[in-house]
């Protein structure tokens, strides 16, 4: 994972899109819930950086993703994603949370590439300025921490 993180740091300086893909891919190879956890923590980090009036309303969807991702059906996950997508006055966090739910649906359906792409889109959306190294480094640190914790337990 450390090599993946270093490669991402090089890629991002070249202003390439899909910089988050290798991280999401590496995490999901162990367990797709690790990629989901990374997206959730990136959403929470980004949300702490900006002040959103409707964040408390959106937090229930984030919590639900962490608690119920294994018990809901693919259809239910897609429906939750649609519900979030069509809430009024959609902005980055709302879009990222909808994509989070669609990634869960894709992973549950066995569509690994689709799940990784949705995670990638969600995380990259939350780094609107790729030159924001402080926020980027926080996202990368979260990925590394999640991976190291998983490795130490298995």
Q: List the alpha helices (DSSP H) in 2-91.
A: 2-13, 21-30, 32-49, 55-68, 74-85
pLDDT (tens digit per residue) in 20-40:
999 999 999 989 999 999 999
Tokens of 116: 């990784």
Contact 68, 100 (CB under 8 A): no
Measured between alpha carbons, how far is 135 from 20 in angstroms, rounded to an integer?
Answer: 13
**Residue 60: enclosing H or E segment and its boundaries?**
helix 55-68
Looking at the predicted structure, is the pLDDT value of residue 1 above 90? no
What's the average model confidence in pLDDT over 128-152?
Answer: 90
pLDDT (tens digit per residue) in 82-132:
999 999 888 899 999 999 999 999 999 999 999 999 999 999 999 877 777
Looking at the predicted structure, is the pLDDT value of residue 44 above 70? yes
Q: What pLDDT is attached to residue 120?
A: 96
Indicate the Cα dihedral angle 88, 36, 18, 55, nearest 10°.
30
Question: At a CB cut-off of 8 Å and minimum separation 6, what does 92 contact?
Answer: 46, 125, 126, 128
């Amino acid at each position: 994972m450390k090599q993946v993180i270093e490669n991402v740091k090089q890629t991002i300086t070249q202003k390439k899109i899909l910089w988050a893909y290798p991280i999401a891919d590496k995490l999901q190879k162990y367990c797709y819930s690790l990629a989901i956890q990374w997206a959730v923590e990136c959403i929470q980090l980004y949300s702490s950086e900006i002040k959103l009036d409707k964040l408390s309303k959106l937090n229930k969807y984030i919590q639900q993703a962490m608690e119920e991702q294994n018990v809901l059906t693919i259809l239910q996950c897609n429906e939750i994603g649609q519900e979030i997508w069509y809430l009024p006055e959609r902005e980055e966090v709302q879009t990222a949370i909808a994509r989070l739910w669609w990634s869960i649906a894709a992973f549950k359906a066995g569509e690994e590439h689709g799940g990784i792409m949705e995670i990638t889109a969600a995380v990259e959306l939350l780094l609107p300025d790729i030159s924001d190294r402080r926020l980027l480094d926080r996202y990368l640190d979260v990925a590394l921490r999640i991976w190291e914790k998983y490795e130490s337990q298995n």
